[in-house]
Structure 1
């Protein structure tokens, strides 16, 4: 009996001492609780706003060790939407996104560095592929919140921003000197699996 209690105690101890495991989430694009939006200056006079309507992805997050976070996202570049059909057609052309040749843009994280002052903020590094070009980018990230939803699930949300230089992705169409960079904004809500 004593041997069985010692064995049980060793099992319980090892379970309690086991490190927390990262939780896996699917980005909720079906319920449209996730957005990839952008803005770029138009000739230096105003802002042009747009978004990508179709994308999918997943992420892992471990509250006990946020630096283990990882993210993967795939964007259907033809789903670009600036609320103007003719402009969107031009943006899909080889002047810009060349969607007939490069139908997808992807982001695969390589590391996450939490902010030393605020555990809910950090920098997400990864490889972003657009228009056939892959570059490492750094996205400033903030956790918006996490908790149970009304449908019996658990959700976690983040937002992030990054500036991309168009020429880095072989997009050199002249939009004026004020339009060399595009600001990308992400609002991502994931459902725990």
Structure 2
């Protein structure tokens, strides 16, 4: 359920004005919302009500019972780079049939390292989101999943986030090939050494 209430008026509080003629005070409002609402969000038009707008200010009050849960089995176990994490996405909303897609993004070290869109499967209360764990997500990353749902004259963005902690065993691989390939070599014999590894890797050769 969704409700949006606008209240206008002039309220008087006992407070001391500061040098810039601003003040703070506590006011009590009686708000009637729909049964089953999960939260009430009070959003003043301005954070500080000063003499400039004492005659007219607005407070938006919004109640919603839509939410999203993101979880995965064995969440206490260590995650490893290179594996795929199956995440359970569970929405809850009176307008759950209006949800069409799940959006997700992964951020690590202040950068978005992965993102995507998953189509919601109709008729399912929850579904799996398969996330490949890359080197860019180690050692910690934040997964944000969200969806848009359209209700009565409103469109809400509902989200949930989890922290992913993963370990990297050895992200690089090194292979060495000698040519000619044989069991024994003679002194002063010419050898060809081929080193295969990932790009942008540093290789040290000590003889």
Calculate the TM-score normalised by the size of structure 2: 0.25
**Greater radius of gyration (CA):** 2
More strand, by proportion: 1
More helix, by proportion: 1
Calculate the TM-score normalised by the size of structure 1: 0.26
